[in-house]
Chain A
């Protein structure tokens, strides 16, 4: 199956904005939708964004998602130390009928 590529890590200062990218080379990703998950150390993942840009309950408007063709992005503005976590993108591969996760991105708020 195809892969979703994320940067291993990103960092920014408190109050700043950061964007985490998620790219896939397959055409099914280009036409499909993306979800984003936050995993704080020692805890289960939580859904942040679904259907590319819809925010899940419990997450403030500081979190936003976008997708254009083969590239998706999660943006977090007004960074807080509590945002430090691993972030994963995911999509449904409709040809092979399976979920593909990106490798994850560790966000550090300096």
Chain B
């Protein structure tokens, strides 16, 4: 079955960097876009970023543009979220999610369990 497992979350100080990983299995990673979504404690869902299946497109929320970068490694079936210059307001549980649609960017379908990131 489709699985996504996030890792790399921890407590970091403001201004520092962190890289999250999302290891996937159960589907053809090379054919689907991967999204990153976060949820601050007690708040709703906030979309963060997406990278297309072929790495030709990457889009970001305004709140992270210029600080966060998403990438992917098809040899490892893994997506990454590089987070630089972290702020207190980046504190959240971060989810990676596989897109719904083969070959294009649309909306998230399968989600990982999430990984907490605390900036303090």
Contacts and interface: CB of A to CB of B under 8 A. Distances in A.
Contact of B109 (A1, A44, A56): A56
B92 interface: no
Contact of B44 (A33, A47, A97, A101): A101
B107 A35 contact: yes
B106 A47 contact: no
B47 A47 contact: no
A39 B95 CA distance: 13
A44 B112 contact: yes
Question: What DSSP secondary structure best describes chain B's contact surface?
Answer: strand
Contacts of A1: 62
A65 interface: no
Contact of B45 (A43, A45, A46): A45
B111 interface: yes
A57 to B, nearest CB: 10
A100 B35 CA distance: 12
25 contacts: A37-B45, A37-B108, A44-B111, A44-B113, A45-B95, A45-B108, A47-B108, A47-B109, A47-B110, A50-B100, A50-B109, A90-B108, A92-B106, A97-B59, A98-B60, A98-B61, A99-B37, A99-B47, A99-B107, A100-B47, A101-B37, A101-B46, A102-B44, A103-B44, A104-B44
Interface of B: 35, 37, 44-47, 50, 57, 59-62, 95, 100, 105-114
